[in-house]
């Protein structure tokens, strides 16, 4: 990958020395390539039509500078909370490019969405529709909405990131969708402008995306027979990337097939997250100890599962390499672990990397669901975030301090 590569054995990201970043901002730190984020977004935006929408999944990386970068380059946004919506607005997003998904929208969140006249609120239950109608009547603002369908399709990925199984909390079945559409038509308070579905994350098969689209188009035909004209279908996101040996989906190859399938009168919406920012990020961590024993050798680093949850939560695999390649090699096998008081606090095992105490290590492909899932477990401060761009770097989130963590508690001691 040209944006994250080695020069004379040292790792660089977007032309910036990773060693230099660690020296200036400390470890652990997330670092992102601006150029790669823009390139990945461009593959989507250049493959769709003017009225189609690319709405970045904010949950994957919600840093304000990342959101501003995406907004400045034409991206819309998929949000799942009122505060994610507010983040997008602060970052300069066009409200008419924002969709609001999620099964548990509060009255306050629905009001915020209506008052800011966002593009769509995605309805996930009959009771949610009732709430939207009630609030829109009070505010005297008509609500533009999609119905989220559950097509009962497996994304064939980890169970925790599948969202369209029969047991899933997301979306509604076809019969319920048709019933909701009828209630919308009778309400006069809601505009039904589209139907949506999202089958999960890290999808590697083109056929699953097209099967999901077929489900949406079938429901669309039923609604049109009931004299309800639909202008948009939202096929979700979830296009996979290659962490190890997975097959990634190419937007530039798949989107023309999707557009051809929907025809000229229906526009599409996509909600990519991981496929835009995932490979654009690395987590830099420092070796604290080398711990060797008869049964297992460990490299103990200063990053923990509170900084990067994916390996502990999903047993996810990430490429792990020293920031500066060692001239020596080792036949010994190591497990890379952090300081958290949990056995699950590990990033990889079976590693044959030669590092010494104090050496820097990079964990790759952490630009999505890295910092956004970070926590303060064990009273650990959250890491810094840095954006690299064509040889330059800037801090986009300062490292959290202990004082930051206790600020909302300390005054309660009085």
DSSP designation for 159: G
- Return d(Cα 274, Cα 367) in angstroms, integer: 8
Q: In terms of domains, do 41 and 175 share one?
A: yes
Q: In terms of domains, do 133 and 271 share one?
A: yes
In this prediction, residue 153 carries a pLDDT of: 61
> Which residue numbers are catalytic?
341
- Return d(Cα 324, Cα 19) in angstroms, integer: 8
Domains held by the chain: number: 2
In this prediction, residue 158 carries a pLDDT of: 41
Given 276, 309, 324, which residue is the final one in a domain? 276
CB 237 within 8 A of CB 254: no
CATH number of the domain that residue 346 is part of: 2.40.37.10
Domain that holds residue 367: 4-31+278-413
CA nearest 70: which of 39, 100, 96? Answer: 39
Q: In terms of domains, do 271 and 287 share one?
A: no
Print pLDDT tens along the chain (414 aa).
Answer: 589 999 999 999 999 999 999 999 999 999 999 999 999 999 999 999 999 999 999 999 999 999 999 999 999 999 999 999 999 999 999 999 999 999 999 999 999 999 999 999 999 999 999 999 999 999 999 999 999 998 776 544 445 444 444 557 888 988 999 999 999 999 989 999 999 998 887 888 888 899 889 999 999 999 998 888 899 999 998 898 999 988 888 999 999 999 999 999 999 999 999 999 999 999 999 999 999 988 899 999 999 999 999 999 989 999 999 999 987 778 789 999 999 999 999 999 999 999 999 999 999 999 999 999 999 999 999 999 999 999 999 999 999 999 999 999 998 887
DSSP designation for 344: T
In this prediction, residue 165 carries a pLDDT of: 47
CA nearest 281: which of 307, 301, 304, 255? Answer: 307
Which residues contact residue 227 at a Cβ distance below 8 angstroms, ignoring those fewer than 6 apart? Answer: none
In this prediction, residue 1 carries a pLDDT of: 57
Q: In terms of domains, do 230 and 320 share one?
A: no
In this prediction, residue 167 carries a pLDDT of: 55
CATH number of the domain that residue 164 is part of: 3.20.20.10
Cα distances from 54 to residues 42, 87, 141, 196, 332, in angstroms, run 10, 17, 25, 14, 46
Helix (H, G, I), strand (E, B) or coil at 358: coil
Q: Inter-axis angle of helices 107-115 and 126-139, to 10 degrees? A: 50
Given 276, 300, 330, which residue is the final one in a domain? 276
pTM, two decimal places: 0.94
β-pair type (320-322, 360-364): antiparallel
Other beta carbons within 10 Å of 290:
15
Q: In terms of domains, do 100 and 174 share one?
A: yes
- H or E element, residue 363: strand 360-364
Q: In terms of domains, do 15 and 41 share one?
A: no
CA nearest 33: which of 4, 8, 59, 11? Answer: 4
Q: In terms of domains, do 271 and 321 share one?
A: no
Q: In terms of domains, do 76 and 40 share one?
A: yes
Given 231, 252, 276, which residue is the final one in a domain? 276
Q: In terms of domains, do 172 and 295 share one?
A: no
Alpha-helix residue ranges (DSSP H) falling in 172-263: 174-187, 206-225, 251-262
Q: In terms of domains, do 165 and 81 share one?
A: yes
Q: In terms of domains, do 64 and 149 share one?
A: yes
Q: In terms of domains, do 316 and 388 share one?
A: yes
């Amino acid at each position: 990958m040209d944006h994250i590569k080695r020069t004379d054995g040292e790792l660089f990201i977007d032309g910036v020395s990773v060693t230099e970043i660690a020296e200036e901002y400390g470890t652990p730190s997330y670092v992102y390539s601006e150029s790669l984020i823009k390139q990945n977004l461009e593959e989507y935006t250049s493959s769709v039509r003017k009225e189609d929408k690319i709405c970045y999944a904010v949950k994957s990386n919600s840093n304000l500078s990342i959101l501003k970068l995406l907004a400045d380059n034409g991206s819309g946004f998929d949000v799942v909370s009122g505060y994610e919506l507010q983040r997008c607005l602060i970052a300069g997003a066009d409200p008419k490019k924002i969709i609001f998904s999620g099964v548990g929208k509060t009255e306050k969140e629905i009001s915020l969405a209506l008052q800011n006249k966002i593009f769509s609120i995605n309805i996930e239950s009959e009771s949610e529709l009732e709430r939207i109608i009630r609030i829109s009547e009070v505010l005297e603002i008509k609500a533009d909405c999609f119905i989220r369908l559950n097509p009962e399709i497996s994304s064939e990925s980890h169970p925790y990131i599948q969202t369209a199984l029969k047991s899933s909390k997301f979306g509604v079945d076809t019969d319920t969708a048709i019933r909701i559409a009828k209630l919308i038509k009778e309400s006069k308070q809601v505009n039904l402008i589209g139907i949506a579905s999202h089958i999960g994350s890290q999808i590697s098969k083109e056929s699953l995306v097209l099967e999901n689209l077929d489900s949406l188009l079938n429901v669309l035909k039923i609604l049109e027979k009931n004299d309800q004209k639909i202008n948009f279908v939202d096929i979700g996101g979830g296009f996979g990337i290659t962490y190890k040996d997975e097959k990634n989906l190419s937007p530039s190859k798949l989107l023309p097939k999707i557009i051809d399938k929907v025809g000229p009168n229906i526009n599409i919406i996509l909600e990519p997250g991981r496929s835009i920012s995932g490979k654009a990020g690395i987590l830099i961590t420092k070796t604290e100890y080398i711990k060797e024993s008869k049964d297992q050798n460990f490299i103990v680093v200063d990053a923990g599962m509170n900084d990067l949850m994916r390996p502990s939560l999903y047993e996810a695999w990430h490429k792990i390499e020293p920031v500066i390649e060692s001239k020596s090699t080792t036949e010994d096998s190591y497990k890379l672990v952090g300081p958290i008081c949990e056995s699950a606090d590990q990033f990889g095992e079976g590693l044959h990397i030669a590092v010494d105490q104090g050496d820097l290590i990079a964990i790759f492909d952490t630009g999505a669901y890295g910092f956004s899932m970070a926590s303060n477990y064990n009273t650990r401060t959250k890491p810094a975030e840095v954006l690299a761009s064509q040889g330059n770097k800037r801090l986009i989130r300062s490292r959290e301090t202990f004082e930051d963590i206790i600020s909302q508690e300390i005054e309660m001691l009085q």
